[in-house]
Amino acid sequence: MGQAAFRETADIESFDVQTRKTGSMEQQKSPLAVDVRIADSPDAFKWLETDWRVLENQCEGAILFQTYDWCANFLDHACRNGDLEPGTVEMRVVTVRHYGVLTGLLPLAIRDDQGLRVLTGLTEPFQQYTEMLVAPGADPKQVFAQMLPKLRSSGADYLHFGQVRGDSSLFAAIDGAVPTSGEEDGAPYVPVANWPDFETYHQTVKAKTRKNMRNARNRLERSAPLVHRRARSGALLAEVIDRSFAGREAWLGRMGLTSRAFRNSGFGEFVERFKHEGKTGVPAIAFSLTHGDTPIADQWGFVHNGRYYAFMAGWDDAYEESSPGKLHLGAILEDCFTEGVELADFMIPAARYKFTWAVDAVPVRDYVMALTLRGRVQNAIWLNFLRPLAKRIVFALPTGMRAALFKVLMPGKA
């Protein structure tokens, strides 16, 4: 699954025709030594495409959610739903050029959050990481410092970078300069390219773990065969997307948990587009583990630059004693070796079952910087005090009570 095998061109109809005339767009590359600008309209966004693609092709790491195609799909979705308007999603793609060459890009947007204007990731709450694209040889700290005056004058109350990886260019740029917010999470991963084949990697997994997985598989196969399938298109891809979405939504409800993505009424419609191979420019892949005719575990995600992003998963609770999630991750990793994936990124949260196979986890944190007095008050009272307190109280409740509470309240903050 290398980059060439998955290279596709986005086909975004409504985004092409429903361009807004709000905002500015300058169509000549500046000869200035340093030129920092903000693209704030669909026209300006589209004008960036060629240079954006050149820059992203030079970048390594977990950059999928800042690629042109991912962002174009989000903006197409927003245009179709009338969300790309003042007071909803106000695009702010920040660019830095050196003598006309694009060397830094940070896709952001201003969103209204209960009366406060928040400058955050462009494709929130659907993106899983926030990252800044930085050209090789450029200093991330310097690039961000050049962007910062534009961010401060954006009209937002505070700046929010959600889910920043500890190995990212954005982390290198803001660590120590922008305060962290909330608890640290982690993104478990397996560097698949470090081993010649699955069998060699499998020997590095604890012997007790291998035995437990073998026993679980044997118990299931006494009653029906276990079959693992994968697909990048067609009926299986669509079925896995549907089942995992419904399963995840139901699980959140049962556990009394909430998710900003699932609270967004357009999330289901957004993921629907990835059922259609070749229409998004973002190649999806689905995996399904079945026991006889019963799907017991599903997972789907994306492959970009040799990295597999495990976007969404679900399993049949009736099989909980057999650890279907653990069994399925092993089968997925075996497919990753077969398909030439270089790194399997299980992404946040750092759930225990992922460490059955993961070798480590990259730290992931949120970062928040107040830009106005209102933003400082919000940061001090809500983000740093009331929100953590409320989370501790709520998560200390029994699952059933928490589920009932969330059904009634469904708080607007995650």
Alpha-carbon dihedral 404, 247, 296, 288, rounded to 10 degrees = -160
List every span in the chain annotated with CATH 3.40.630.30.
4-186+364-396, 188-362
**What's the topology of domain 4-186+364-396?**
Aminopeptidase (3.40.630)
Closest listed residue to residue 15, CA positions, set 86, 70, 78: 78
User: Per mean pLDDT, which range of 232-241, 340-349, 399-408 is the poorest?
Assistant: 399-408
Residue % of the chain over a pLDDT of 70: 84
What's the mean pLDDT in 40-52? 95
pLDDT band at 348 (very low <50, low <70, confident <90, very high): very high
Q: Which CATH architecture describes the domain 188-362?
A: 3-Layer(aba) Sandwich (3.40)
pLDDT in tens, 161-193: 999 999 999 999 999 999 999 889 999 999 999
Alpha-carbon dihedral 76, 36, 140, 41, rounded to 10 degrees = -10
pLDDT in tens, 60-109: 999 999 999 999 999 999 988 877 665 578 999 999 999 999 999 999 99
In 10 A of CB 410, how many CB atoms?
9
Cis amide leading into 149 (omega within 30):
no
pLDDT at 17: 34
Q: How many Å apart are CA 57 and CA 53, to the nearest integer?
A: 6
For residue 337, the Cα-to-chain-centroid distance in whole angstroms is 23
Phi, psi of 191 (to 5 degrees): -80, 80
The Cα-based distances of 311 to 108, 222, 267, 304, 358 in angstroms read 21, 32, 13, 12, 16
What's the mean pLDDT in 381-397? 65
The answer to whether the CB of 81 falls within 8 A of the CB of 266 is yes
pLDDT in tens, 253-292: 777 777 888 888 899 999 999 999 788 999 999 999 999 9
pLDDT in tens, 8-36: 333 343 444 333 333 344 444 556 799 99
pLDDT at 350: 96
